A = this chain, B = another copy of it.
Amino acid sequence: MDTKELHVISTGRQPFADLAAAMRDIHRFVSCFHLREKTKTAAELMAAIELLQAAGMPAERIVVNDRADVAAAAGASGVHLAYHSLSVSAVKRLFPQLRVGKSVHSEEEAVQAEAEGADYVMYGHIFPTSSKPGLPARGIEALRLLAARVRIPVVAIGGIKPPDAGAVLNAGAAGVAVMSGILEADDPGRAAAAYYDALYREV
């Protein structure tokens, strides 16, 4: 696999101006930036996407969480769906131009997402993480088993630090997704660079 994917996901806790400021430092390292802001309105998301683009993140690398209509209206590259979202097949039918990702939590969900036309799945959490307290981490071996069941890229998420990137890629992941590890780092640009370097050097 030549290209490794680094997905960065917004925390839902940062003002859009702060997100935009981070974009300037991280955009060159990021394959997909996920705007995941569950309490924001469609109009607010559209405004945020404009801010992100003005700060250097190209629309082709912006993914909107859940709202396929916003993704299409903004010219974003894709939409990322969760269990509470529209189905992959419905979104693919409405918006063939969008790259559609799906969060999955089992091999069965991954296989189904692929069958419905998902372009990638996101699987986790791989390691213990403060954003999923009390839920057991799935671990590298579960990632390996899941990745072997689908042909589409599997993006690993959850408590992944740069030194873990090699193990995650070796287990069959196409890349990693990071939330607070980059956006809440003291220096988001440096953190993004560390992930990027780890993805490209450690396999």
Contact = CB atoms under 8 A, between A and B. Distances in A.
A84 interface: yes
A43 B73 contact: no
Contacts of A93: 73
Interface stretch (A10-18, A63-71, A105-113, A168-176): A63-71
A32 B93 CA distance: 25
A72 B94 contact: yes
Main secondary structure of the interface of A (DSSP, over half): helix
Interface in A20-42: 41-42
A42 B73 contact: no
Chain A interface bracket (under 10, 10 to 19, 20 to 34, 35 or more): 20 to 34
Interface of A: 41-44, 46, 66-70, 72-73, 83-87, 90-91, 93-94
21 contacts: A41-B84, A41-B85, A42-B66, A42-B84, A42-B86, A43-B83, A46-B86, A46-B90, A67-B67, A67-B69, A68-B69, A69-B69, A69-B72, A69-B86, A69-B91, A69-B94, A70-B86, A72-B94, A73-B87, A73-B93, A73-B94
